[in-house]
Amino acid sequence: MERTISSEKVGAKIVEWYSCLISKSYEQAILLKNEVKQLISSIDPNDKLTAYYSLVHFKYNILVSRYNKNKCSQKIDPFDEITKIDDMLKYLYYFVSGQYEFTQERYLSAVKMFRKAERLLEYVNDEAEEAEFYQYNGLVYYRLNQYLVASSYIEQAKLIFDRLQYKEPSINCQIVLAGIHQELKNTEKGEKILKEALGQAIDIPIVYAQVLRTLGLNKQAQQKYAEAEIYFKQALEYPEHKDTIFGVKNKLQFSQRPF
């Protein structure tokens, strides 16, 4: 490929790739990843473009590992001269670092990174990026059992995802909200949310199966074990779910069930 491609065009293509990661357009993200890799190799990128590519590539790896049996094990390279990078890249660095800490189940460390990112959120001129920031904050507070804070962040994220018509991220928010209601012993409300999500996820098999699994957990919390087993088995009927980390957890449910 001739070196006639501008760094601006490559940067625009990375932005497009990044947008696919936020919307969870998995197949398109894979195609764009390969396209961006070819474009990057065809030019002499500047430090800013290289940093941006590295951060988005790391974020891509987090998405790819999301449903894998193994957690994301790649470490993010620190920027030795972070103060020389513009504010948007600083934000992305802290946010992606927080995402990595979250995948490693180091939730307090993730909170610290997200707080640093939040100070720079005003430099983010993208609603989808803002929504994902709220979503991850909700997730980390959910893991820390701070359910009211988690619910506030997740509801903000869902509102934006719905406005942008980002279906999968919106459904993922519903799953978390249902989980929060379940933890707060409001299983009926959680079940209602999940059944609404199930209807919306019908054309996304891997998400549909995840909703089925969560319905199973909801029934298990109510000690309705026979109904829970039905949902778990239905989820495992989907190949997209069976071999993921969630599918493995489903199988464990059977081995540990009290019936």
- Contact 210/175 with Cβ under 8 angstroms? yes
55 vs 64, which has greater pLDDT?
55
162 vs 243, which has greater pLDDT?
162
Residue 19 pLDDT: 79
Mean pLDDT in residue range 177-181 = 96
Torsion (CA) 157, 160, 162, 166 in degrees, nearest 10: -80
Mean pLDDT in residue range 136-152 = 97
Q: Which pLDDT band, with edges at 50, 70 and 90, does 28 fall under?
A: confident
Q: HSE (CB half, 13 Å, CA atoms) of 182? A: 22
**Helices 47-64 and 26-41, interaxial angle, to 10°?**
150
Instruction: Report the mean per-residue pLDDT for the chain.
Output: 83
Nearest to 99 by CA among 70, 58, 128, 130: 58
Q: HSE (CB half, 13 Å, CA atoms) of 1? A: 12
Judged against a pLDDT cut of 50, whether residue 63 lies above it is answered with: yes
97-139 pLDDT per residue, tens: 898 899 889 999 999 999 999 999 988 888 999 999 999 999 9
d(Cα 115, Cα 110) in Å, to the nearest integer? Answer: 9
User: Can you give the pTM of this predicted structure?
Assistant: 0.76
187-222 pLDDT per residue, tens: 999 999 999 999 999 999 989 999 999 999 999 989
Residue 115 pLDDT: 96
Nearest to 42 by CA among 53, 28, 55: 53
